[in-house]
């Protein structure tokens, strides 16, 4: 245990009953275009119900949780028919969601958020890509004098962290003011300690065969964060515990997917599509087009091997809405006929509770996205995570929990045979794979207990 951890940790009390009902303002629900951003919140709520059961939780959502307009169209849902907040309501039926902004004085722009801020005993940002609400954290903290914290974030100087090299950044201010800073992978802790995390195995350089800038170089953080209360606590999606067995059963039966006789494959763009350039300065569409076939051809090798060696089926499923229209073309088209006949492609987006139920029935999940493997792990299903270098170093979390054998750290340096070997290593000895995953999840929940105790300590519930 580190010095920082020892300053945070104490034994959980015999009774988790508290003398007063604390109000926790939880800032999360960053987006609804991927099941990971949706899954963070119900995972966190499950932890609160377990470790601080008397607390009232108000979720300060970043955006509207109902899929509408362009988002609904890409998801192939009827406009306004799907509310991602219902996944969280399976954990806490009466959970309150608020939205809005705080001005420089910490005053909210609507009565619901104003009431939440005025009554909250602590504000915490949930798992996500960086300190996504550092300004809001500081405005809450300055107005109320109440504690703030960060639970399961990534502090990647290339992708997410905006320290600007001085003390003026709100990210810097929030890190220093926080009662706890929990990162979801240990690489973030190394970065905050000023280490050069671009070791020789991780530096991404330009490919002379392409016209885009692929170089990814992280400048070591120069500020001294040695006094912040930081520790490793995994992404809250690992605590995801809700399912939609009814919807999943329809999907499984419609596609002839038998329990433990199929594997799910999850595709991904190098960069989330959109009008903004990549962080290297190139068009996202141009950049993505250069790698989409190369990346997914490597997954196809694993699909072919799995189908031919087991005779089982493969389901191509989404983590984001952006792949729904294309994932069949990426991962099924061009397969040999004997393999293609065993591959089914989901026709629309889904919510993480249905995904969880499908993953629970699968032998394994092979993904270029991070949160489908996390949801699979929460369901007890082994996985292979294939990392793209543009996707920050958040995938290092899988190494940190003891599952390095299931993590392909750089798709640029990997072959399809590497992906296939990782998958078949799981499939060929399922009891060993499940035992390995159980050990990893034991560690995850030990870290969650540590993190939740720090929240209790910040609230002075055991003083």
Residue 373 domain-assigned?
Answer: yes
* pLDDT higher at 156 or 439: 439
- pLDDT score for 193: 94
Do residues 151 and 299 both lie within one domain?
no
pLDDT tens digits along 25-67: 999 999 999 999 999 999 999 999 999 999 999 999 999 999 9
Per the structure, the count of domains in the chain is 2
- pLDDT score for 9: 45
pLDDT tens digits along 424-445: 999 999 999 999 999 999 999 9
The span from the CA of 458 to the CA of 463, in Å, is 10
Q: How confident is the model at residue 165 (pLDDT cuts 50, 70, 90)?
A: low
Residue 463 domain-assigned?
Answer: no
Q: How confident is the model at residue 200 (pLDDT cuts 50, 70, 90)?
A: low
Do residues 295 and 218 both lie within one domain?
no
Do residues 23 and 135 both lie within one domain?
yes
- pLDDT score for 14: 47
Cα of first residue to Cα of last residue in the chain, in angstroms, is 23
- pLDDT score for 261: 98
CB 335 within 8 A of CB 219: no
Do residues 251 and 217 both lie within one domain?
no
CB 156 within 8 A of CB 202: no
CA 165 to chain centre: 27
Give the pair of three-digit tokens for residue 312. Answer: 């089982």
- pLDDT score for 10: 47
Q: How confident is the model at residue 279 (pLDDT cuts 50, 70, 90)?
A: confident
Quick one: three-class SS letters along the chain?
A: CCHHHHHHCCCCCCCCCCCCCCEEEEEECCCCCEHHHHHHHHHHHHHHHHHCCCCEEEEEECCCCECCHHHHHHHCCCCCCCECHHHHHCCCCCCEEECCCECCCCCECCHHHHHHHHHCCEEEECCECCCCCHHHHHHHHHHHCCCEEEEEECCCCCCCCCCCCCCCCHHHHHHHHCCEEEECCHHHHHHHCCCCCCCCCCCECCCCCCCCCCCECCCCCCCCCCCCCEEECCCHHHHCCCCCHHHHHHHHHHCCCCCCCEEEEECCCCCCCCCCCCCCCCCHHHHHHHHHHHHHHHHHHHHHHHHHHHCCEEEECCCEHHHCCCHHHHHCCCCCHHHHCCEEECCCCCCHHHHHHHHHHCCEEEECCCHHHHHHHHCCCCEEEECCHHHCCHHHHHHHCCCHHHEECCCCCCCHHHHHHHHHHHHCCHHHHHHHHHHHHHHHHHHHHHHHHHHHHHCCCCC
Q: Around Cβ 21, how many Cβ atoms within 10 Å?
A: 10
Lowest mean pLDDT among 124-133, 159-168, 207-216, 295-304: 159-168
Do residues 213 and 259 both lie within one domain?
no
Instruction: Give the closest residue to 228 by CA, choosing from 176, 182, 191.
Output: 176
Q: How confident is the model at residue 459 (pLDDT cuts 50, 70, 90)?
A: very high
- pLDDT score for 7: 47
Asked if pLDDT for residue 18 goes beyond 70, the answer is no
Q: How confident is the model at residue 198 (pLDDT cuts 50, 70, 90)?
A: confident
Mean of all residue pLDDT scores within the chain: 93
- pLDDT score for 3: 43
- pLDDT score for 216: 87
Do residues 181 and 276 both lie within one domain?
no
| Domain at 282, CATH number | 3.40.50.2000
Do residues 269 and 282 both lie within one domain?
yes
Do residues 212 and 71 both lie within one domain?
yes
Residue 49 domain-assigned?
Answer: yes
pLDDT tens digits along 319-366: 999 999 999 999 999 999 999 999 999 999 999 999 999 999 999 999
Range of the structural domain that residue 150 is part of: 3-238+443-458
Do residues 251 and 301 both lie within one domain?
yes
- Output the pTM of the full model: 0.94
Asked if pLDDT for residue 4 goes beyond 90, the answer is no
Do residues 447 and 435 both lie within one domain?
no
Q: For strands 262-266 and 230-232, give the pairing.
A: unpaired
Q: How confident is the model at residue 220 (pLDDT cuts 50, 70, 90)?
A: confident
Residue 203 domain-assigned?
Answer: yes
Give the pair of three-digit tokens for residue 30. Answer: 């960053």
Do residues 356 and 390 both lie within one domain?
yes
Do residues 278 and 196 both lie within one domain?
no
| Domain at 18, CATH number | 3.40.50
- pLDDT score for 168: 84
Residue 220 domain-assigned?
Answer: yes
Asked if pLDDT for residue 389 goes beyond 60, the answer is yes
Query: Count of residues for the chain?
Result: 463
Q: How confident is the model at residue 20 (pLDDT cuts 50, 70, 90)?
A: confident
CB 116 within 8 A of CB 25: yes
- pLDDT score for 217: 82
């Amino acid at each position: 245990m580190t010095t920082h951890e020892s300053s945070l940790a104490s034994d959980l009390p015999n009774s988790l009953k508290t003398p007063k009902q604390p109000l926790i303002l939880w800032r999360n629900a960053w987006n609804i275009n991927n099941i990971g951003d949706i899954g963070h919140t119900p995972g966190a709520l499950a932890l609160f119900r377990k470790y601080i059961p008397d607390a009232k939780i108000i979720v300060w959502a970043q955006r509207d949780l109902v899929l509408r307009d362009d988002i609904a169209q890409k998801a192939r849902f009827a406009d306004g028919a799907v509310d991602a907040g219902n996944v969280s309501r399976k954990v806490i039926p009466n959970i309150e969601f608020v939205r809005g902004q705080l001005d420089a004085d910490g005053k909210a722009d609507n009565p619901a958020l104003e009431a939440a801020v005025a009554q909250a005993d602590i504000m915490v940002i949930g798992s996500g890509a960086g300190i996504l609400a550092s300004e809001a954290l500081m405005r809450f903290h300055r107005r109320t004098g109440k504690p703030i914290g960060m639970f399961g974030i990534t502090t990647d100087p290339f992708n997410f962290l905006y320290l600007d090299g001085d003390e003026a950044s709100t990210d810097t201010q929030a890190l220093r003011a926080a009662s706890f800073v929990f990162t979801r992978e240990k690489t973030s802790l190394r970065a905050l300690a000023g280490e050069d995390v671009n070791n020789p195995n991780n530096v991404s350089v330009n490919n002379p065969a392409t016209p885009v800038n692929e170089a990814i170089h992280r400048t070591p953080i120069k500020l001294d964060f040695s006094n912040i209360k930081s520790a490793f606590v995994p992404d809250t999606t690992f605590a995801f515990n809700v399912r939609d067995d009814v919807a999943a059963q329809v999907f499984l039966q419609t596609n002839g997917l038998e329990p433990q006789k199929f594997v799910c494959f999850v595709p991904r763009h190098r960069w989330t599509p959109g009008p903004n350039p990549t962080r290297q300065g190139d068009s996202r569409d141009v950049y993505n087009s250069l790698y989409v076939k190369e990346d997914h051809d490597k997954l196809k090798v694993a699909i072919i091997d799995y189908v031919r060696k087991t005779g089982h089926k493969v389901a191509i499923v989404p983590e984001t809405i952006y792949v729904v229209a294309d994932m069949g073309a990426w991962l099924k088209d061009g397969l040999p006929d004997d393999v293609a006949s065993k591959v089914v492609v989901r026709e629309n987006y889904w919510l993480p509770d249905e995904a969880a139920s499908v993953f629970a029935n699968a032998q394994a999940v092979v993904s270029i996205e991070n949160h489908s493997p996390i949801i699979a792990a929460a369901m007890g299903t082994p996985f292979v995570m294939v990392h793209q270098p543009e996707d920050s170093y958040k995938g290092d979390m899988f190494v940190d929990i003891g599952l390095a054998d299931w993590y392909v750290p750089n798709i640029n340096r990997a072959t399809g045979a590497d992906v296939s070997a990782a998958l078949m290593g799981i499939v060929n000895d399922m009891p060993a794979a499940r035992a390995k995953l159980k050990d990893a999840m034991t560690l995850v929940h030990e870290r969650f207990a540590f993190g939740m105790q720090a929240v209790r300590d910040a609230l002075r519930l055991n003083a």
